[in-house]
Amino acid sequence: MKIRCIAVDDEPLAVRKIGGYIRQTPFLELVAECRSAFEAMEVVSANDIQLIFIDINMPELNGMDFVKSLADKPYVVFTTAYSEYAVEGFKVNAADYLLKPVTFTNFLKAANRVKYLIELTETNKKEVVTATADHLFVKSEYKLVRIELADIKYIESQHEYIKIHLISSKPVLTKLSLKSIEEQLPSGRFMRVHRSFIVNLSKIQVVERNRIVFDGKVYIAVSEQYKEIFQNYIDGNFV
């Protein structure tokens, strides 16, 4: 499986260079080359991006402020010509920091570091979930909690955790990735509609402007990446 990446830099040569490095690296997949943080914002909201290579010193919205604005942060590698930004970069938990001009050797070291972190996280999360056709067990607050699949409204990613929102009780928080629990759920009953959300299809009552509405107050956007498959489901159940 490849790590989905974007390169962000307002300098055309710099963004093409990082994009080229990504294409040369077998375990990376380039989703987009972005010329501004605003362009990157659109790509991140519409796609499941796992890693961002981003310049810090950009006009209007710099790379540091853009990363701080993200609620669900992918891994980040900062690229910049200014070494004084290094300490600030690590304050926002950047995976690495590359000083321009970026060599392929240094780029590859940073990419391998992120690959290791992702593999380590996935290994730690695999121990948590067991599922049957009608229920699953997850670890939460040092307990194994049984959750009936029919009781799930939607599942929300929150950094290293997921929050399972239920009909009958308060949400259950567990240290899992959205991907790992998605693999355990029956695809005919549950669908991922956003990089941060899986919904129980049988609990959908209102769809409004590419948003699923729960309880009249929770709005879950259907991102571009999942829009076609979700629309096919709606069309197949439309009277």
Sequence ranges of the chain with CATH classification 3.40.50.2300: 3-125
Taking CA 218 as the corner, what is the angle to CA 214 and CA 221, rounded to the nearest 5 degrees?
A: 95
pLDDT of residue 175 exceeding 90, the answer is no
pLDDT given at position 125: 54
Count CB-CB contacts under 10 A for residue 148: 12
In angstroms, what is the C-alpha Rg of the chain?
20
Q: Which tens digits make up the pLDDT trace of 184-199?
A: 899 889 999 998 999 9
CATH fold for domain 130-236: OB fold (Dihydrolipoamide Acetyltransferase, E2P) (2.40.50)
pLDDT given at position 91: 56
Tokens coding 50: 């796992």
Sequence ranges of the chain with CATH classification 2.40.50.1020: 130-236
Give the burial class of 84: count Cβ atoms within 10 A of its Cβ; 0-12 exposed, 13-18 middle, 19 or more buried. exposed
Residues 167/153, Cβ–Cβ less than 8 Å: yes
Is the model's pTM score more than 0.75?
A: no
Residues 128/174, Cβ–Cβ less than 8 Å: yes
- Assign domain 3-125 one CATH number from 3.40.630.10, 3.40.50.1000, 3.30.1360.120, 3.40.50.2300: 3.40.50.2300
Q: Which tens digits make up the pLDDT trace of 114-157?
A: 998 888 776 655 544 667 778 988 888 878 889 999 999 999 99
